[in-house]
Amino acid sequence: MTLYMDYTSPSARFFDDVNNNLLVQKDPRNYINVLSTQQLNTLDNVSLLDIFLSAGNIVEPHYHQNAAELVYCISGAANVSFINPFTNCVFHYQITPGQVVNVPQAWWHWEIATADNTHLLAIFNAPIPEVILGSDILRLTPSEIWAYTYCLNESNVRNTLAPIQRSTFIGPPLGCHQGQGQGYQPYAQPPHPYQQHYW
């Protein structure tokens, strides 16, 4: 919903420096800046995230309940993935500068940098992009619910999820070496879009 804006008001702001709007920072090379109506009150139905990642870092799985997202690659390279809820297919798109991926509203998705100095711009059709993070779903749902729902060992679930103490945003956590040597290569993706079916 668009609210009336008095463009003659002294409080109307038409300029902002996104570099000063840090949303989250993992380290000096992995961080996200934000621009919404909270920073620039003359924006209408648009907002953005300015994303900087080094190779192997991931914007954790999440969805935006109030907006679609257009992911534009400025520099570097990234794999943008999402689940199409209508087909139960997982789509992966490797993007390089000038390429975009459209993620419809409320679709589960994630982005993995496949090169150092990756810079992505995520543009939203909402004045403030709302988000539900995978880390929050995992840590806030009681372990007994996970165990009961999926017939899992509750103690194992609790121990597995215990390290997730807060919203992650950019993963993996600093000092994590779990994926090394286990065959998972987050940026060894094919050069063309592909899909996997999970039915």
Tokens for 76, please give them. Answer: 């570097």
| 99-128 tens-digit pLDDT | 999 999 999 999 999 999 999 999 999 999
In sequence order, what DSSP letters do the residues of 184-199 get, joined into one string? Answer: --TT---SS-EEEE--
Mean per-residue pLDDT, 162-184: 78
The hierarchical CATH code for the domain 18-136+165-197 is: 2.60.120.10
| 45-87 tens-digit pLDDT | 999 999 999 999 999 999 999 999 999 999 999 999 999 999 9
Residue 145 confidence (pLDDT) above 90: yes
What integer pLDDT is reported at residue 199 of this predicted model?
A: 42
> What per-residue string of b and e applies to 18-57 under the rule 16 or more CB within 10 Å gives b?
eeebebbebeeebbbbbbbbebbbebeebbbbbbbbbbbb
- Helices assigned H by DSSP within the chain: 134-140, 143-150, 154-161
Residue identified by tokens 């870092």 is 57
Rounded CA-CA distance 33/98 in Å is 20
Q: Name the band, by pLDDT with cuts 50, 70 and 90, for residue 35.
A: very high
> Can you give the residue ranges of every domain in the chain?
18-136+165-197
What integer pLDDT is reported at residue 190 of this predicted model?
A: 45
Judge residue 152's burial from the number of C-beta atoms within 10 Å of its C-beta, 0-12 exposed, 13-18 middle, 19 or more buried. Answer: middle
Q: What are phi and psi of 149, to 5 degrees?
A: -65, -40
DSSP, res 151: T
Tokens for 195, please give them. Answer: 């899909």
Please list, in sequence order, all residues whose beta carbon lies within 8 angstroms of the beta carbon of residue 121, skipping any fewer than 6 positions away. Answer: 48, 49, 50, 51, 71, 72, 74
For 5-9, 53-57, 134-138, 163-167, which range has the lowest pLDDT when averaged over its residues? 5-9
Q: Name the band, by pLDDT with cuts 50, 70 and 90, for residue 188.
A: very low
Q: Work out the mean pLDDT of the chain and round it to a whole number.
A: 90
| 24-34 tens-digit pLDDT | 999 999 999 99
Q: What are phi and psi of 138, to 5 degrees?
A: -65, -45
DSSP, res 85: T
Rounded CA-CA distance 16/126 in Å is 18
